[in-house]
Structure 1
C-alpha cells in the first residue's frame, strides 16, 4: 500500500514538474514574442487585421462650359514586392522560373531601364528578404500598373505573389496651363486639399467624403468589410470656354512678348449672364516666359486710368449737369488744378482747344474730364462719390477666390482727400479697381444698364446629372437712366470708330469701349521712381448694336511709349474677331436679300426620297404631287430648282435602253444601272456629270460603265 502511494506521488510530482516546465516555456516564449519578435508579429497582424481603415474618395472633376475635362483625379501607383510572403506561399521557385519573362516585360513597360537592370534589382531584393521592396522608382500610371499586373507572379494576389502597390490620387489638367489660376492648384499630397482657385472655393463639393473599412476573417478568408462607403466628390461645371480661353491667351501672350511686358490680363464675359468665358492672367517669369502665377484679374488693385473716365462722365450725365454736346475749352492741353498741372497726352502739340463731351472721350482728354468734374462737384465731392456708388462700381462682388480684392474709392471725409484728389480721381487716379470690377461696369453698360455678378461656375453635377445650377445674380438692376445709357453707348461706339481706340475695332462688326493709359504708382516713392512704368488697357463690348461679350485687356509695361488703344486695343480686336468667327453665328434671316437662293440643290434620282426630305424640311416644292404609295419601288426622275421652289418630275424608264443618270447621286445611279445588269465604276464625289456609255443606247448585260462625279 505504501509503495502504491509513493508511486502515485512520484507520478503527480513528474506531471507537476512537466507542467511547470511548460508554463515556464510559455512565459519565456510569450516574453520573446512580446519583446524580441514584437515588430514581426505586429507586421503580420497588420497584414491580416486592419480596423477603421480610411478609404479616400475620388475627387470630382472640373469641366468647361463646352463639356471638356479641365481637371481630374487620376490614380498613380508605386509598386512593391514582399519576398517573405512570396516564399511563405511556396512561390519563390515560380518567381525564379519566370524571372526572365518578368524582367523582359518590365523593360517593355518601362524602357528607361533594361531587362538586366530589373533582374539585378529583383535579385537584390530577394537576397535581402525585403517585405516592402520598391520595384520601380517612379510613380506609374493606371495603364502601366494594369500591364505590370499581367506579368507572371505579379498577377497573383499579394499574399501568394508578394506584389503589392501604393495608390496615389494625382490631379491632372488635360489642357496644361490653360486657365490654371482660375482652376487653382492642389498640394502635392492631394489629401491635404487645394491651395487656391475653383479647387479651393468649391473644395467641399469636389472633395467628397471618406469611407471606412476593416479586415475580417470569414470562412478562412480575410475580406475587406465596408463599414462606411466612400462618397466620391461632385463635378464642378465652370463657365470657362476652352476655345475662348485659348484665343484670349494666345492673343495676350503674343503681345506681352512683343512689348517685353511685366504682366497682362484678359477677361471675356458673356453680357447677359455674367458667365466668365475666359480669364487669362500672365506674369513674366525669370526665364523670360509667361505663366499663370496669380489670379490678377480679381486680386490686382491698380489705378485704372482713362477707362475710369466713362464712369465720371456718366455721373455728370446722370445728374444732368452735361449733355454729349456740352463744350469744354481744354486750351493748349495744360491747366492748373489746385496747384498741380493737369495735362492732355498731346499738350506738346498745342492741345485740343474747345471740344464737346463726345470728343473729350474720343481723344481721352484729361483736361476735359477733370474740368467738368471739378467745376460741378468741386464744392461737393461727396455727390460725385455717391454717383459712382450709385452705379455699384465699388460694390464687393464676393467671387469666392482667395486673395480677392475690392475697389477702393475714397471719399472727401477720408484722410488723404486733398484739393487735387477729385480731378485726378475723375481720370482714373487715386482709385484702385481690380480689372474684373471694371469689366463688370462696362458689361452693365452693354447689358442695358443691368449689372450682373461675374460667374465662374454654372452648375454642380454628379454622375452626369445636374444637382444644382447657379443662376445669374443681379448686382444692380439699373446703374443709370435709359437716357444716360443711350448717350454713353453712342459715345463709346464713336470712341472706337472715330477716336483713339480705332485699333480695337473690326471691319466685320462694330465695337464699343474705352482705352486707358496710366502711370503706375510706386507708393510713397511716387510715379517716376526708378523709371516710369505704365498700365495700358482697353475695356469694351461687341457687337455694339446687340452686345454678346464684354472684354478687358490690361497690360503692365516697364517703359514707354504707352498707348492703351494700340497696345491693349489691338489685343482686344484679335480676341473679339476670333470669338466672333467661332461663336457668333448669324441668323439666316439677316442674310436674305432679293438675290438670295434659299432652295437647296437637289440631286436627280429617286424623287420619292427627295420629296420626303423636302417635305420634312418645309422646302417649297411640288413634293406633295409625288406618290409615296409604293416606297419599295423607286420613282425615277429629275429635279430642277429655282430661287423659289424645287420641281420634281418623273422620268419614264425604258428597260432596254441605257438610262441617263447625269445629275444623280452615286447611290441612285449605281442602283439603277446595276438593275440593268451593268458593272459600274465611279470616279470622284458629288453627282454624276458624265457617263462612258451614251444614254439611249441598247443595253448589253455585263458591260462596264464609268461614271464621273463632281
Structure 2
C-alpha cells in the first residue's frame, strides 16, 4: 500500500504540474495574442515584408523661353553585393582581374591590384553593400560601368547596385540664383527660399512605394506604386536680360566697392518680372547672388525717388502748378530744430516746381508739402496710403519687407516728420515696392502686382496659369499722370539724370541719393552709408518696361544716383531696346484700292525705272536726280520723289524693301538684323540719329 500511495502521490504531482503548465501556456498565448499581438504581428511583417520609398523627380524651373533655370540631375553611388545569390566563386575568381582593370582605368585613382585586393577582402568579409567608389557618377557614366565584367550580369548574379540620388543644378550658374531659390539639405523639407519654396508643392511631386516580401531568404518585389514626378514652373525671367543686368550691376559694384546692389526689370502692362538681381559683397571684388533677396526683403528709406509720390499728392489736390515758382534760396531751410539742405551747394534760388523736381531740390519739395499740409498732415499721408504705398504686394516669394510711412499721432511722429517724409525719409519701402509705384505711372495709373511665374506645367501641358493682377486701378487722375510723366522725362532731358539721355529713345525716371542708417544702431550709433538709385521706364513715349537699380554702400567717394545707379539702368535699357523688335513703331501698311496702279517699295531709282518701264507704267518725276527715291502710286501713274540721307546720320528706311534697306544701312557701316516680311515699317535706331560704325540696327518688315 505504501508503494501504491507513493506512486499515486507522484503521478498527482506530475499531473498538477502539467495542469499548471498548461494554464501558464494558455495564459501566455492569450497574453501574446491580445496584449502584445499587434507588436509581434508588426515585427513579423517587418521581417517578411518591407517598403522602400521611391523618390519623385523634382520639377524644373524654367525661364520665359523654356530654358532650364533649375533642374534635378540624377547621379549614382555605386555599391556591390559580394554575396549575391548567383555570384559564385567561379564567376568571381574568373572575372575579378578584368573588373579591377576596368575600374582602375575608369576612375584613374587606384591600381587594378588595389581594386582587386579591396573587392576580394570585402567578399571574404561577406559584405552585402560594399561601396565601390566615393565619387558619384552620371547617367552616361553609369551606362558604361554597367558593361564591366561581373556588373554586366545584373544585380542577382553580378551583385551590382547603383543608388540614384538627384542633385539640384542651376545650368546658368548664379544668374537669378536668389530668385530661383534653393533646397534644404534634408531633402524631405523641400524648398528653403525663393521660387523653390514658393512653389514647393507643385515642384516636389509625390513619392512612390515599392513593397518587398522575403521568400527563401531573398527579397522579392511584390507590388509597386509609382512616384508622381513634380510639375515644371514657367517663370517670367528673361535669361538674356538677367545676364545683362547681373553683369552690368556687378561691374558697377566692383568699381565703387559697394556693399550690395539690386536691379529689377518689370513689364509695364502686366507686372511680369523679366530680371531680378541681388548681389552681395563676399569679399573685395567678389559678389554673390545667393545671399539675401534685397529686392524683395530690404525696406529702407528711399530718398529722392519718393519725391514723385509727394508731387502726385500736391498736383492731385490742386495745390501747385508745375510752372508756379518757389524760392529755394541758397538751398538751406529750417523746419523747427532741423535744417533741410539741397545737395547743390549755394542752392537754386527761385525756380519753378518743374525745375524743383528735375533738379531734385530737397528744399523745394519739403517746403511745397509743409506749406500746404502742415495744418492737415493726415490728408497728405492718406493720399499716400490711397495709392497703396503702405501695403505689401502679396508676392509668391516669401520675405517681402514691410512698407512703413508714419501717420500723424503715432509715437514717432514729430513736427519735422512731414517735410522729411516728403523727400523719402522717416519711411521705408523695398526696391520692388518703389518700382511697382513707378510702373503704375508708366501704366497710366494702373498699379500691377509684380509676379514671377507664368504657369505650371505637367508633361508639357499647362495645368495652372497666372494672369496679371491689378492692385490699384488708378493711383491718381490721368491729368496728374500726364504731368508727372513730363516731369520724369524732364529729369533725364534737363535734370539730374541727364547722363542717361540718348538719341535713340527717351527714358523717364528719377535719381535718388539717400543717407541711410548703417546697421541696427541707428544714425548716431551705427553711422550712415549712402544708397544710390535710379528708377524709371522706357521708351518714355510708349512705355514697355520699368526698371530700378539700387546700390548700397558705395565707398569710393562717388555715391550719386545718376552716376552709380543710372549707368547700370542705361546699360540694361539699351540692351533691351536694341534687342526688342516689339519696341519698334508699327504702322499699318496702306493697301492700294482696287484699280490703282501697282505700288512699290522705295528703292534705287535705276531698278524701279527698269520695272515700271517694262510694265508700261506712267512715271511722274522720272528726271529726279537722286540714287534713292520714294514712290507713291496714284490712279493713273506712279510719282517718284527724292530720298536723301545726311552723312553720319541714320537714314530713314521706312517704306523701303528689305534688300535695299540692308544695302543702304550696311554701306554706311551699320550691322542690320531683319524681322518679318514686306517693306520696312520700323527701325530701332531712329532716323537722324548719329551712329558709330558697327552699330546694330533692327528693322521690322510688315
Query: Which TM-score applies when normalising by structure 2?
Result: 0.75
Contact persistence 1:297–1:436 (CA under 8 A): yes
Greater CA drift, 246-255 or 388-397: 388-397
Which among 368, 374, 378 is matched to residue 382 of structure 1? 378
| Structure 1 residues 288 and 361: CA distance shift in structure 2, 3 A | same
Q: In the superposition, relative to structure 1, how do residues 564 and 588 fare at CA in structure 2: closer, same or farther (>3 Å)?
A: closer
Paired residue for 1:668? none
Match of 1:121 in 2: 118
SS of 1:98's partner is helix
1:565-596: CA deviations, max 9, x gaps?
A: 11100110011101111224454756999xx9
Question: Displacement of 1:76 after TM fit?
Answer: 1.6
Which of residues 387, 391, 394 in structure 1 aligns to 2:387? Answer: 391
> How far apart, in 2, do the equivalents of 1:489 and 1:353 lie?
25
| Matched-pair contact (CA < 8 Å) for 2:520–2:526 | no
> What is the CA-CA distance between 1:206 and the residue it aligns to?
0.7
Deviations 1:483-530, CA, capped at 9 Å, x for gaps: 100000001001011111122333321000001000111477543656
Q: Mark the CA change 1:305 to 1:113 in structure 2 (over 3 Å): closer, same or farther.
A: farther
Question: 2:311 matched to which residue of 1?
Answer: 313
Q: Match of 1:323?
A: 321
Alignment correspondent of 1:60: 59
Query: In the aligned structure 1, how far is the partner of 2:204 from the partner of 2:576?
Result: 34
1:49 is displaced (CA, Å) by 5.4
Residues 187, 159 of structure 1: CA spacing in aligned structure 2 closer, same or farther, 3 A cutoff? same
Offset at residue 111 of structure 1 (A): 3.2
Shift in Å, 1:643? 6.9
Pick the aligned partner of 1:482 from 472, 475, 478: 478
**Counterpart residue number, 2:260:** 263
In 2: Cα distance, 1:106 partner to 1:60 partner: 34
Query: CA 1:206–1:621 in structure 2 vs 1: closer, same or farther (change >3 Å)?
Result: farther
Contact 1:599 1:644 in 2 (8 A): yes
Query: Does 2:228 align with 1:195?
Result: no
1:147 matched residue in structure 2: 144
Equivalent in the alignment of 1:274? 271
Residue 102 in structure 1 maps to residue 99 in structure 2: yes
Deviation at 1:477, TM superposition (A): 0.6
* Pair 1:181 & 2:178 matched: yes
| Distance apart, 1:98 and its partner CA | 2.7
TM (norm. structure 1) is 0.74
For 2:510 and 2:467, the matched residues in 1 are separated by 29
Structure 2 residue ranges without an equivalent (≥5): 1-41, 591-598, 616-627, 633-702
Query: In the aligned structure 1, how far is the partner of 2:574 from the partner of 2:259?
Result: 25
Alignment of 1:200-219 (within 5 A): 200-216=197-213
What is the CA–CA distance in structure 2 between the aligned matches of 1:304 and 1:122, rounded to whole Å? 66
| CA-based RMSD | 3.1
The residue matched to 1:178 in structure 2 has which SS?
A: coil
2:163 aligned to 150, 161, 166, which one?
A: 166
Question: Structure 1 stretch 537-546 or stretch 88-97: which is displaced more?
Answer: 88-97
- Partner SS state of residue 316, structure 1: helix
1:138 aligns with 2:128: no
Match of 2:644 in 1: none
Q: Which runs of 5+ in 1 are unaligned?
A: 1-41, 605-618, 624-640, 646-710
Tell me which residue corresponds to 2:465.
469
The separation in 2 between residues aligned to 1:525 and 1:597, in whole angstroms, is 73
CA contact (8 A) 2:248 2:571 kept: yes
How far apart are 1:552 and its partner, in Å? 0.4
The aligned counterpart of 2:74 is 75
CA positional deviation for 1:95: 3.1
- State the Cα distance separating 1:353 from its structure 2 match: 0.5
1:424 aligned partner: 420
CA distance in 2, matches of 1:247, 1:620: 49
1:578: which partner in 2?
575
Partner secondary structure for residue 411 of structure 1? coil
Total equivalences in the alignment: 564
Aligned counterparts of 1:291 and 1:572: Cα–Cα separation in 2:
20
Q: 2:349 — aligned with what?
A: 353
- Residue number among 242, 251, 254 corresponding to 1:254 in the alignment: 251
The aligned residue for residue 508 of structure 1 is 504
Cα distance change on mapping 1:115 and 1:174 into 2, 3 Å = farther
